[in-house]
Structure 1
Amino acid sequence: MPAPPGRRSIDTSKRPFVLIWEVTQACALACTHCRADAQPERHPDELSTADGKRLLEDASDFGDGQLVVLSGGDPLVRDDVPELIEYGTDLGLRMTITPSGTRSVTRDRIEALSEAGLRRMALSLDGATPESHDAFRGEAGSFAETIRAMKDARAAGVPVQINTTVCRQTVDELPAIRDLLADLGVVMWSVFFLVPVGRGRILEPISPEEADAVMSWLGEVSDSEPFGVKTTEAPQYRRVRLQERRESDIGTVDAAGLRRRSGIVAGDGFAFVSHVGEVFPSGFLPASAGNVREEPITAIYRDSALFRSLRDRGRLRGKCGACEFRTVCGGSRSRAYAYTGDPLESDPLCPYVPAEYDGPLPWDDPTSVPSAPSRPTDAD
C-alpha cells in the first residue's frame, strides 16, 4: 500500500484528514466530560453492519489511506468491530479505534483487532493516578484497566495514543500525565480542550490566558518527549507556536507561509458521523449537514453548505475573522457554536486580539469564559 497522505498534502476541500464514525453511544462509563452523553444501552437505530460497510465503501472514495476512527460511547460494545476494521482495511482505509478504559478491552479482543488490520488504538487518561482518573471517569478501576489495555496493545504490536481532556479539574494533572506517558511508550498524546457539549457542560473550562500557557508548555513537551503531541479543539496551538518562533528568531513566518500551513478545524479536514448516520463537522459541533443513509459521506463533506462555509476562512466573524493567523488557526468552530450558536463566530478560548481589531470581544460578557490563569510546571 502506498504511504498514507500527509496532512499538508491533503486538499481538505475534497477529503478530511480525519473521519470519525461514532459506531455507538453505548458505554459502561459515565464520564463527567462525555461529549456523547453515553448511555448504558445501544440505540435501536444505530447504523447496522451493512450500513457501516456502505459508509466505509463511500469513505474509500475520498482516496487511498483515508484515516477512519471508530469511536463511541465504547465501540467494543459492538461485536462486529473486527469485521468492520478488516473490511475497511481491505478497502485501503487506515482503521483506528477509541475504546473506553473498561474490561471490554481484553487482550483477546485487542489481538483480534490487530489481526483485522487495526493501525492504532487511542485510550483516555484524564488523571495520573487511579484516584484522579477514576473520579473523572466515574468508574472505580478505570485507570488500572486503561494501563492494562495500553500494555496489552503494545504487546500485540498496536501503537497507542492517549487522549486527555483539559479543563479546570484536569489541568494540574498534565505534567504527571506527561511523565507517565513517557514511561509507557505511547506514540501520541492528543490533548482535548473542553468544549461544553453533552455532559461536559457541567465542567469548568480553563481561561483563555491559561489555555495559551498550556499550549506553550505542550510545545515544550513536543520538543522534548519521544511521543508526538497534538491538540483537539485548540487550533490556536499553531498560533502560539508560530509566535514563539518569531520571538526566538528561529526562522521567519510570512503571510505566504501561513497560507501554506492551514490548520484543521471542524468541517475543514475533519468530519464526524453519528451512531445514527448524521454527519457533523465535529462530534463537538452537533449541527447536521446530512445523513449517510441518504447520501454518500463524500458528497456531504464536499458539497453541503455547512461544510463549505467552515472551509471559507474569509467568512469568519469577530476577531477570528480579522486575525492574521486565521488560515493557520481558524479557531475552534465547535466552541464558537457551543457558546454563541454560530460556528463562524470567534473562539472564546483564544486570548489573542489582532492589532487592528476594535470590535466586541468574547470575554466582554463576564459569564462567557471563567478566568483562573496559571501554567502547568514540573513542580505542580
Structure 2
Amino acid sequence: MRRQSRDVRQLRHATADRPFIVIWEATQACPLACRHCRASARPRRDPQELTTDQAGDLMEQVAQFGHPAPLFVITGGDPFQRPDLITLVRRGTELGLAVSVSPSGTPTLTRQALAGLRDAGAHAVSLSLDAATATEHDRFRGVDGVYALTARAWRDATELGLKVQINTTVTRRTVDQLPDIAAQVLDLGAMLWSVFFLVPTGRGRTVAGLDAAETEDVLNILYDLGETVPVKTTEAHHFRRVCLQRAVLARRGIPAVEALELGPVYQRLRQRLDDLGLAGGPHRPRRPPLQVSAGNGFVFVSHRGQVHPSGFLPLPAGDVRSQRLTDIYRNTPLFTDLRDAAQLKGRCGACEFRTVCGGSRARAYAVTGDVHAEEPACGYRPGSFPYVTDLAEALAASGLRPDLPPAAGGQS
C-alpha cells in the first residue's frame, strides 16, 4: 500500500526547546508609509535601538539554541537604514546562522546593496508585493515608485543568486488581485510566496481585512494554487486545517466547493485562476504548511531588544540586553502558555483541529484583548467536518496526534 503523504509538516525538534525562526526588527526607521505597518515605522532611527555589539550578542544567543540553529531574519522598518547591516549579516553568518534580510522597496535597495548582502553570507531576501499593479501597490505603501523598485530588486536578487520570498498582505481592497500576483510569482520565480492575513495592530487597525467567510475562501484558493506556486500563509494558521480537509476530500473524490460551502470570493478568484491557467499546472510537489505559530517555533525581537512571541503580538516576555533569549523562549509563562493548546478558549478550545491550528493568537489578542480567545477570522464549527476516520489517518501520516470528536453520522 502506498504510504499516505504528509498534509502538515512538523519540526524535527521540539518547539519547546528551540524556535524554528527568530525575527529581529533591526530598526523601525523607514521612508515608506505603509497602510498596514505593524511597527508604525517612522523616518528616523530610535536612539535606543540595539547597538552593533548588542546585535552581535543577540545573534550569539540565537546560536546558543544549538544545531540546527533557528533561521535568523533581519527586518524593520527598513534594515538598510542601519549603516552596520552588512557587518551584522557577516557576523551572523560567522556564527553559523542562516541569515535572511527583509528590506523595504526604497532607493537604498540597489543591486550593489543586494550584492553586499550576498557577499556577507545572506541566504535570502523577502520583498513585499501587495498588489498586481504599480498604482495599487504604491498606494498601499504610501510612496510612488515602490512597485518599480521592488520589481527591479526582485530581478537583481535572482540574478545575484539570492533566494527571494515574496510577501503579500491580503486586504478587502486587493483580495481580487491575488491570482494576478500569483502569476507574477510564477513568472519571475520565488522560493516562496507568503500570504499575510491582516492583524489589526499598528497602522493595520485602519485597514479593512477579510471576514471569516472570505478568509475561508482565500485559504481554499491558496490550496488550489499549491501545485503551481510554492505558497504559505502568515497569521492564518487555519490553513493547516484547510489543507487537511482538502486532502481528505480529494482522496474521497468529493468536490470542496459544496462540502466546505465556499462562497463568492472563492468563486471569483477561482474563475480568475482558470482564466490565467494557474490552477491546472505545471504541477509541483505541494508544500505542506509547517506547524509554527507565535511562541511555538517563532520568536520576535524588537529594535530595543524586547522579546515577543510574534511581531504582531505586542506582549513582551523579556529583554535580550538583560536576559538570555534561550531562557525567555523556553521558560517564561507567556511562551509556555502559548505552546499549551489546553489554554485555548471558545471555539478554538473546543475544536478538533486545536493542536494542529490553534488560530492566530495575535489576531485574537488584537480583537479581544485575550491572547487565548478564539480566532476571530475563522468560521469553522468544531465537529462539523464529518470524515473523522480519514482525518485521523491524515493526522497520523503527518506525525500528529488526533484530537477528534466521535465520528459524525453517515461516515463510512
Question: Could you tell me the TM-score, scaled by structure 2's length?
Answer: 0.81
Q: 1:112-261, aligned counterparts within 5 Å?
A: 112-225=116-229, 228-249=230-251
Counterpart of 1:320?
348
Task: Check whether the contact 1:263–1:330 (CA below 8 A) recurs between aligned residues.
Answer: no
The answer to whether the aligner puts 1:281 opposite 2:309 as a matched pair is: yes
Paired letter, 1:233: E
Task: Check whether the contact 2:93–2:99 (CA below 8 A) recurs between aligned residues.
Answer: yes
Paired letter, 2:340: D
**What's the CA shift string for 1:30-84, capped at 9, x where partnerless?**
0000000000000010000000000000000112332011010001100111111
Paired letter, 1:46: E
Q: Tell me, in whole angstroms, the C-alpha distance in 2 between the residues paired with 1:317 and 1:95.
A: 36
The answer to whether the aligner puts 1:90 opposite 2:118 as a matched pair is: no
Q: How far is 1:7 from its partner?
A: 5.2
Task: Check whether the contact 1:26–1:40 (CA below 8 A) recurs between aligned residues.
Answer: yes
**What's the CA shift string for 1:133-159, capped at 9, x where partnerless?**
000000100000000001111111101
**Pick aligned residue for 2:108 from 104, 107, 110:** 104
1:190 partner SS? strand
Task: Check whether the contact 2:352–2:383 (CA below 8 A) recurs between aligned residues.
Answer: no
**What's the CA shift string for 1:106-147, capped at 9, x where partnerless?**
111111110111011000000111101000000100000000
Identity of aligned residues (%): 50
Counterpart of 2:40?
37
Q: How far is 1:241 from its partner?
A: 1.1
Q: Tell me, in whole angstroms, the C-alpha distance in 1 between the residues paired with 2:10 and 2:143.
A: 36
The answer to whether the aligner puts 1:335 opposite 2:339 as a matched pair is: no
Task: Check whether the contact 1:82–1:113 (CA below 8 A) recurs between aligned residues.
Answer: yes
Counterpart of 2:70?
66
Paired letter, 2:364: A
The answer to whether the aligner puts 1:345 opposite 2:347 as a matched pair is: no
Q: How far is 1:17 from its partner?
A: 1.1
Q: 1:12-51, aligned counterparts within 5 Å?
A: 12-51=15-54
Q: How far is 1:8 from its partner?
A: 2.1
Q: Tell me, in whole angstroms, the C-alpha distance in 2 between the residues paired with 1:250 and 1:103.
A: 52
**What's the CA shift string for 1:298-337, capped at 9, x where partnerless?**
1101111100000001111111011110111110000000
Paired letter, 1:164: T
2:23 partner SS? strand
Paired letter, 2:226: S
Counterpart of 1:254?
none
Q: Tell me, in whole angstroms, the C-alpha distance in 2 between the residues paired with 1:30 and 1:162.
A: 19
Q: Given the superposition, is the C-alpha separation of residues 262 and 164 from structure 1 closer, same or farther in structure 2, using an over 3 Å criterion? A: closer
Q: Tell me, in whole angstroms, the C-alpha distance in 1 between the residues paired with 2:61 and 2:167.
A: 28
Equivalences, count: 340
Q: How far is 1:262 from its partner?
A: 7.6
**What's the CA shift string for 1:254-300, capped at 9, x where partnerless?**
xxxxxxx9821111111100000110110000000011011011110
The answer to whether the aligner puts 1:309 opposite 2:313 as a matched pair is: no
Task: Check whether the contact 1:23–1:47 (CA below 8 A) recurs between aligned residues.
Answer: yes
Task: Check whether the contact 1:262–1:329 (CA below 8 A) recurs between aligned residues.
Answer: no
Counterpart of 1:369?
none
Paired letter, 1:41: R
Question: Could you tell me the TM-score, scaled by structure 1's length?
Answer: 0.87
Q: Given the superposition, is the C-alpha separation of residues 250 and 57 from structure 1 closer, same or farther in structure 2, using an over 3 Å criterion? A: farther
Task: Check whether the contact 2:10–2:291 (CA below 8 A) recurs between aligned residues.
Answer: no
Q: How far is 1:10 from its partner?
A: 2.6
Paired letter, 2:31: A
> Could you say what the CA RMSD is over the residues aligned between the two structures, in angstroms?
1.4
Paired letter, 1:13: A
2:127 partner SS? strand
Paired letter, 2:353: F
Q: Given the superposition, is the C-alpha separation of residues 151 and 291 from structure 1 closer, same or farther in structure 2, using an over 3 Å criterion? A: same
**Pick aligned residue for 2:321 from 284, 293, 297:** 293
1:224 partner SS? coil
1:329 partner SS? coil
Q: How far is 1:355 from its partner?
A: 3.0
Query: Which segments of 5 or more consecutive residues in structure 2 lack a partner in the other structure?
Result: 1-8, 254-288, 385-412
Q: Given the superposition, is the C-alpha separation of residues 223 and 262 from structure 1 closer, same or farther in structure 2, using an over 3 Å criterion? A: closer
Paired letter, 2:83: D
Task: Check whether the contact 2:18–2:330 (CA below 8 A) recurs between aligned residues.
Answer: yes
The answer to whether the aligner puts 1:9 opposite 2:12 as a matched pair is: yes
Q: Tell me, in whole angstroms, the C-alpha distance in 1 between the residues paired with 2:252 and 2:143.
A: 46
Q: How far is 1:250 from its partner?
A: 6.1
Task: Check whether the contact 2:10–2:290 (CA below 8 A) recurs between aligned residues.
Answer: no
Q: Tell me, in whole angstroms, the C-alpha distance in 2 between the residues paired with 1:111 and 1:313.
A: 44
1:68 partner SS? strand
Q: Tell me, in whole angstroms, the C-alpha distance in 2 between the residues paired with 1:30 and 1:180.
A: 24
